Chains A and B, each alone.
Chain A
Amino acid sequence: MEKKLAKITVNVNEEGYLTDFSQWTKEVGNEIAKEQEIEMTNKHWEVIAYIHEKFKNEEPLSIRGIKKSGVINIKEFYQLFPGGPLKKATMIAGIPKPKSCI
């Protein structure tokens, strides 16, 4: 379905994840974050950049990967994106929800 975020019309699935990453801009990410009651800081964007890099290299995301990322530790990750960090961070990053169980 279509949704208007930061004056841009984007396609999202029923959970609110962008279905076409090419429609993502930082402003779109910011709007999604606001809807999730997350105020984006530089640290948040660093994590989003890490997620984008993983996505472009087609590497799966996991909490173990976050631990090894060198960008952020797990505790901070949970603090920055409360209530399901990987789920929320990927939504803000405009990529599909991770399918992994770990």
Chain B
Amino acid sequence: MEKTKIRKMLFILSKATIENVYAAFIMANGARMEGIDSEIFFTFFGLEVIQKKKLEHLRVATVGNPAMHIPTMLGGLPGMEALATKMMKKEMEKLDMPPIDEFLEILSDSGCKLWACKLAVDMFHLKEKDLIDNLDGILTIGDFYNRADKDNTHLLFI
């Protein structure tokens, strides 16, 4: 088998809507499965994903998302987001896609590094105890760029 040319994938996850989170997770996990190093830097709303109390309550966006094919006015009605999220989670379960907490565990066990953005942590007044136990640390963007300083490394902003 030929050795892969991509050596490392670094993801910056700035959103907490389910579709974005899963995109990052599946790509980061997929990288590890292909023998590629991967790391995720959680920043801004992406921090919701690594907060113990919030990670189970991530939603899919029903407003401002034309691909949902729900009129914006309806998408804003109470319960719509919850309903759409429930439906999407059901479909995901059918494909054996793990829920967020289990996926984080799989990523960590697979050697994918999970980092929180220092500036965003400070901005949202978060403490280390608010964040998941398998977090690898809190980094500045400079620290993160240092981790990217290798041949055949790619950065992806989600």
Binding site for B on A (CB under 8 A): 15-16, 36, 60, 62-65, 67, 73-75, 78, 82-87, 91, 100-102
A77 to B111, CA, bound (A): 11
Once the chains bind, are B33 and A63 in contact (CB under 8 Å)? yes
| A84 CB to nearest B CB, Å | 4
Once the chains bind, are B96 and A64 in contact (CB under 8 Å)? yes
| B79 CB to nearest A CB, Å | 29
Given contacts A63-B29, A65-B96, A84-B33, 19 further A-B contacts (CB under 8 A): A15-B1, A36-B1, A60-B96, A64-B96, A64-B102, A67-B102, A67-B105, A74-B106, A74-B109, A74-B110, A75-B109, A78-B109, A84-B34, A87-B34, A91-B1, A100-B96, A102-B26, A102-B29, A102-B30
Binding site for A on B (CB under 8 A): 1, 26, 29-30, 32-35, 95-98, 102, 105-106, 109-111
The total of Cβ contacts below 8 Å across the A-B interface reads: 50
- Asked whether A102 and B35 contact (CB < 8 A) given A63-B29, A73-B109, A75-B109, the answer is no
Residue of A nearest to B25 (CB): A102
| A67 CB to nearest B CB, Å | 6
A62 to B105, CA, bound (A): 15
- Asked whether A82 and B35 contact (CB < 8 A) given A16-B1, A36-B1, the answer is yes
A91 to B26, CA, bound (A): 22
